[in-house]
């Protein structure tokens, strides 16, 4: 008798348990959500936890992909028809790639049904519109600001950068901050090896974009950067950054950089990383002729796979991330949300460790984007990076570099079919 | 039934069984070759007449992909770079491998240790090796340039950061990486040369150079032939170290054909065009190999001992 009971109990338990899971499974929808560096960005898990608590019938399964591989891997997964319902769109080049390959679901019907007010999302949203349809829902939006190391300014006796600084002033300040040699050298400023570091701030002085094919407007930006690198030696040389795989994050956080022009995503890093840098932020420097606060803006969106069979549940997740609840969680973690209501900004700027007076640095005048969506985006991006590296390492003159850019842009467009 | 007949039948069935066993052993390899090599090659050839982006329906474009090649500056540059890589790395590897093999073919203490050392790069992961060489090549802080400066060269090359030196840097590293493998092949060849030839030459009063020139080199020519074919084919396929060390740069200085195929296919999603380049690469390797086989008779000696 005793023996039989010891057998019956576990069996009963098993039956009950399996019934329970069956019951839940029957009405639960699982959404597969692809995003990069999920494990390194705890705020995503927080949003998902809240979302699942609010929608117990939807379960989110995350596909975590390393940031560097994300665009390629995503493309292959989508092409192979792998089951992905929601995926993050990292930049406009990826966006145009997905768009032209028909992987994106138009979102207008959902937006109208839910009554979402898109005017709260800033002007960059127009870049993810296609034929009047919103193709990705913005949840993060970063702008470029100026980071500075207060200790380096104090030691050099230079006042902190103002919100009205111009790029020529930036050069002069950087010169004053530079000191030391070798591994101890303090760089007045730092341009990362990305072409956007040099090519993008000056976009605000022109109506042209980097896909238009005329690159003469880049000249003053390159002249400034080359002078800082070769004459003032106030920035680490491009060649050294490339060959030593220097990362701006490590260099700034080790206290060796006076000023850094970088996106607001870096605020989140500075808040969570361990370092001793006493940092502040100011508005991006501007080129004479433009207004202070003019800067480059990036938009990160979530898209619904056009082949998804769970679009309604997917939209719930997408709008949760981009909506107020998601925005508040992101803001509290030092990640700038696309939805910037006064309430959200208040949370963002009052996060522990957020620099004093930093709120004003986030107020923008005109904004533009690094590379607008276009079929040519990938090819132009690669071409510009190649010519950028040639100019910055002094392999070719600035004149030749700008000429090459124009010629190669022409070739790319003519050979496109 | 006579015993002779039985024996005959027995041997026939035995032969059949043996043939089946042979096929069974060949099958896994053939299957792998057909599914992973032959079918993709045929598919790539077919794709080269299409315009296809992996997502939208493919369009037949005839020879337009091949016509585009003639105008494409990117293709011309990568073809030129591939030939550069091939023309320098193949002879260098042969010379070094032969030299090392001659050194390692001696009966001295600890020779096995040295043979292992020279083979080591071959078994290391190319990714790890390329990353380490990048550090060695660092223009300001790398050991190579520190050494060059210490012996009085004030302006050492910029290596991977320089258009002029990036390809030599990649070639040098590749030669170092692959030389061990070909040394082993040469070593086997050297050990197959009968000792009595050298003995006879010594009696005739030949010096070491003459022995090398008139015995070693001709006797080794079948090995050299094999090595050069393998090297040329491999050199046309160079890719990994370039992605890690220079990513095709600076500018387009180390942009080789396979890198360009990868770029066209997986960055621009022009699978048709990428396949056209791959087809041209295939044809190129085929032609070079045929030419090598044609020239074989002129310099390769097969001696029956």
- Domain spans of chain A, in order of start: 2-142+298-362, 144-296+366-414
Give residues 20 to 79 of A whose Cβ lies within 8 Å of B. Answer: 72, 75, 78-79
Question: Is B163 at the interface with chain A, CB within 8 A?
Answer: yes
CA distance A406 to chain B (A): 14
Nearest CA in chain A to B162: A395
A413-to-A211, B50, B170 alpha-carbon distances in Å: 10, 19, 32
Q: Which residue has the tokens 């032939």?
A: B225
Question: Is B168 at the interface with chain A, CB within 8 A?
Answer: no
CA distance A33 to chain B (A): 21
CA distance B132 to chain A (A): 11
Q: What is the mean pLDDT of residues B10-28?
A: 86
Closest CB to B162 among A103, A395, A411: A395
Closest CB to B161 among A100, A243, A386: A243
Question: Is B108 at the interface with chain A, CB within 8 A?
Answer: no
DSSP states of B130-169: HHHHHHHT-TTT-HHHHHHHHTT-SS---GGGSHHHHHHH
B-chain CB neighbours of A387 within 8 Å are 251
Mean pLDDT of chain B: 89
CB B177 within 8 A of CB B242: no
Closest CB to B250 among A244, A378, A390: A390
Nearest CA in chain B to A411: B72
Question: Is A393 at the interface with chain B, CB within 8 A?
Answer: yes
Check B68 against A415: CB less than 8 A apart. Answer: yes
Closest CA to B98 of B230, B227, B235, B234: B227
ipTM for the predicted complex comes to: 0.78
pLDDT at position A40 is 82
**What are the helix (H) ranges across chain B?**
3-33, 39-47, 64-71, 73-104, 111-123, 126-136, 143-150, 163-191, 195-203, 208-211, 217-236, 240-245, 257-266, 271-299
- Greater model confidence, B304 or B231: B231
Question: Is B248 at the interface with chain A, CB within 8 A?
Answer: yes
Q: Residue B28 contacts by C-beta under 8 Å, 6 or more apart in sequence?
A: none
CA distance A146 to chain B (A): 28
Give the angle A159-A162-A165 at the CA atoms, nearest 5°.
110
Kindly tell me if the per-residue pLDDT of B302 is higher than 80: no
Kindly tell me if the per-residue pLDDT of B6 is higher than 90: no
Architecture of the domain made up of A144-296+366-414: 3-Layer(aba) Sandwich (3.40)
pLDDT at position A366 is 86
**Chains A, B: CB pairs < 8 Å:** 69
CA distance B222 to chain A (A): 42
Check B73 against A239: CB less than 8 A apart. Answer: no
Question: Is B71 at the interface with chain A, CB within 8 A?
Answer: yes
B-chain CB neighbours of A239 within 8 Å are 139, 158, 161
CB A136 within 8 A of CB A302: yes
Helix/strand/coil for B180: helix
pLDDT in tens, chain A (417 residues): 445 545 555 555 555 555 455 444 457 899 999 999 898 888 899 999 999 999 999 999 999 999 888 988 998 899 888 999 999 998 888 898 899 888 999 999 999 999 988 888 877 888 899 999 999 999 999 999 999 999 999 999 999 999 999 999 999 999 999 999 888 899 999 999 999 999 999 999 999 999 999 999 999 999 999 999 999 999 999 988 887 788 999 999 999 999 999 999 899 889 888 899 999 999 999 999 899 989 999 899 999 999 999 999 999 999 999 999 999 999 988 889 999 888 999 999 988 889 988 888 988 888 888 888 888 888 999 999 999 999 998 889 999 999 999 999 999 998 877
B-chain CB neighbours of A78 within 8 Å are 55
Instruction: Name the token pair of A249.
Output: 């994050």
Check B163 against A395: CB less than 8 A apart. Answer: yes
CA distance B74 to chain A (A): 10
Q: Does domain A2-142+298-362 have CATH number 3.30.70.260?
A: no
A-chain CB neighbours of B277 within 8 Å are none
A126-to-A130, A137, A198, A291 alpha-carbon distances in Å: 8, 11, 25, 22
Q: Residue B24 contacts by C-beta under 8 Å, 6 or more apart in sequence?
A: none
Check B268 against A379: CB less than 8 A apart. Answer: yes
CB A172 within 8 A of CB A226: no
Nearest CA in chain B to A71: B267
Closest CB to A382 among B139, B159, B267: B267
Residues facing A87 on adjacent strands? A34, A303
Q: What is the mean pLDDT of residues B113-139?
A: 88
Check B163 against A386: CB less than 8 A apart. Answer: no
Question: Is A366 at the interface with chain B, CB within 8 A?
Answer: no
A-chain CB neighbours of B56 within 8 Å are 101-102
Nearest CA in chain A to B68: A415
Instruction: Name the token pair of A274.
Output: 């361990």
B-chain CB neighbours of A75 within 8 Å are 54, 266, 269
A-chain CB neighbours of B251 within 8 Å are 386-387, 389-390, 395-396
A144-to-A90, A198, A201, A301, B70 alpha-carbon distances in Å: 16, 12, 9, 18, 42
Give the angle B218-B223-B225 at the CA atoms, nearest 5°.
85
Check A243 against B160: CB less than 8 A apart. Answer: yes
Question: Is B266 at the interface with chain A, CB within 8 A?
Answer: yes
pLDDT at position A296 is 93
Q: What is the mean pLDDT of residues B49-68?
A: 87
pLDDT at position B142 is 85
A-chain CB neighbours of B269 within 8 Å are 75, 97, 101
Pick from B52-61, B94-103, B285-294: least confident: B52-61
Check B251 against A386: CB less than 8 A apart. Answer: yes
Check B54 against A101: CB less than 8 A apart. Answer: yes
Closest CB to A101 among B56, B142, B266: B56
A-chain CB neighbours of B139 within 8 Å are 239-240, 243
CB B288 within 8 A of CB B232: yes
The rounded distance, in Å, linking the Cα atoms of A160 and A310 is: 52
A2-142+298-362 and A144-296+366-414, same CATH topology: yes
A277-to-A170, A253, A257, A349, A359 alpha-carbon distances in Å: 20, 6, 10, 19, 19
Check B162 against A393: CB less than 8 A apart. Answer: yes
Question: Is B217 at the interface with chain A, CB within 8 A?
Answer: no
pLDDT at position B116 is 87
């Amino acid at each position: 008798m005793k023996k039989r009971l010891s057998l019956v109990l576990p069996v009963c338990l098993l039956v009950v348990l399996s019934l329970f899971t069956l019951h839940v499974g029957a009405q639960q929808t699982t959404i597969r959500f692809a995003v990069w560096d999920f494990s390194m960005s705890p705020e995503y898990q927080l949003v998902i936890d809240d979302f699942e608590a609010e929608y117990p019938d939807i379960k989110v399964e995350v596909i975590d992909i390393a940031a560097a591989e994300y665009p390629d891997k995503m493309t292959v997964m989508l092409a192979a028809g792998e089951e992905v319902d929601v995926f993050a769109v990292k930049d406009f080049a990826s966006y145009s790639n997905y768009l032209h390959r028909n992987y994106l679901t138009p979102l207008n019907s959902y937006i109208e049904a839910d009554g979402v007010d898109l005017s709260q999302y800033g002007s960059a949203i127009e870049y993810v519109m296609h034929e009047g349809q919103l193709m990705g829902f913005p949840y993060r939006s970063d702008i470029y600001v100026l980071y500075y190391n207060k200790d380096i300014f104090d030691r050099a006796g230079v006042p902190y950068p103002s919100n009205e600084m111009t790029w020529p002033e930036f050069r002069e300040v950087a010169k004053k901050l530079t000191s030391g040699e070798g591994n101890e050298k303090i760089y007045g400023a730092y341009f990362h090896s990305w072409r956007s570091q040099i090519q993008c701030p000056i976009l605000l002085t022109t109506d042209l974009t980097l896909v238009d094919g005329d690159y003469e407007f880049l000249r003053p930006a390159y002249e400034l950067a080359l002078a800082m690198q070769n004459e003032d030696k106030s920035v680490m040389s491009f060649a050294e950054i490339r060959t030593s795989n220097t990362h701006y994050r490590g260099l700034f956080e080790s206290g060796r950089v006076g000023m850094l022009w970088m996106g607001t995503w870096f605020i989140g890093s500075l808040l969570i990383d361990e370092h001793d840098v006493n940092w502040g932020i100011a508005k991006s420097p501007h080129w004479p002729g433009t207004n202070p606060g003019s800067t480059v803006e990036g938009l990160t969106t979530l898209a619904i796979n056009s082949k998804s069979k769970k679009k309604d549940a997917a939209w719930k997740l997408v709008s949760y991330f981009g909506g107020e609840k998601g925005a508040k969680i992101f803001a509290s973690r030092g990640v700038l949300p696309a939805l910037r209501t006064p309430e959200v900004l208040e949370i963002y700027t009052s996060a522990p460790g957020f620099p004093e007076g930093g709120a004003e640095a986030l107020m923008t005048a005109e904004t533009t984007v690094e590379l607008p969506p276009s079929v040519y985006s990938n090819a132009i991006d690669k071409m510009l990076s190649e010519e950028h590296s040639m100019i910055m390492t002094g392999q070719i003159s600035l004149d030749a570099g700008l000429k090459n850019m124009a010629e190669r842009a022409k070739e790319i467009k003519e050979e496109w079919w | 039934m006579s015993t002779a007949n039985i024996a005959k039948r027995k041997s026939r069935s035995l032969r059949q069984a043996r043939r089946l066993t042979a096929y069974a052993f060949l099958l896994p390899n053939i299957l792998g070759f057909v599914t992973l090599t032959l079918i993709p090659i045929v598919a790539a050839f077919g794709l080269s007449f299409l315009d296809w982006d992996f997502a939208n329906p493919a369009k037949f474009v005839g020879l337009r992909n091949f016509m585009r090649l003639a105008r494409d500056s990117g293709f011309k540059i990568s073809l030129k770079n591939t030939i550069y890589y091939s023309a320098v790395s193949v002879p260098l590897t042969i010379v070094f491998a032969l030299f090392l093999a001659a050194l390692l073919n001696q009966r001295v203490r600890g020779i096995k240790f040295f043979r292992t050392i020279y083979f080591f790069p071959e078994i290391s992961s190319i990714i790890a090796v390329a990353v380490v060489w990048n550090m060695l090549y660092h223009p300001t802080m790398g050991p190579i340039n520190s050494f060059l400066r210490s012996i009085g060269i004030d302006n050492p090359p910029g290596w991977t950061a320089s258009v002029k030196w990036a390809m030599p840097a990649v070639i040098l590293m590749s030669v170092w990486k692959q030389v061990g493998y070909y040394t082993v092949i040469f070593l086997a060849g050297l050990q197959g040369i009968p000792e009595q030839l050298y003995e006879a030459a010594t009696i005739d009063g030949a010096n070491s150079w003459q022995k090398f020139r008139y015995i070693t080199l001709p006797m080794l020519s079948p090995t050299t032939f094999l090595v050069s074919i393998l090297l040329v084919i491999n050199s046309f396929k160079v890719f990994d170290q370039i992605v890690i060390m220079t990513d095709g740069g600076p500018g387009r200085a180390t942009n080789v054909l396979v890198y360009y195929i990868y770029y066209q296919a997986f960055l621009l999603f022009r699978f048709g065009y990428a396949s056209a380049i791959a087809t041209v690469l295939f044809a190129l390797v085929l032609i070079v190999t045929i030419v090598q086989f044609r020239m074989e008779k002129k310099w390769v000696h097969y001696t029956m001992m």
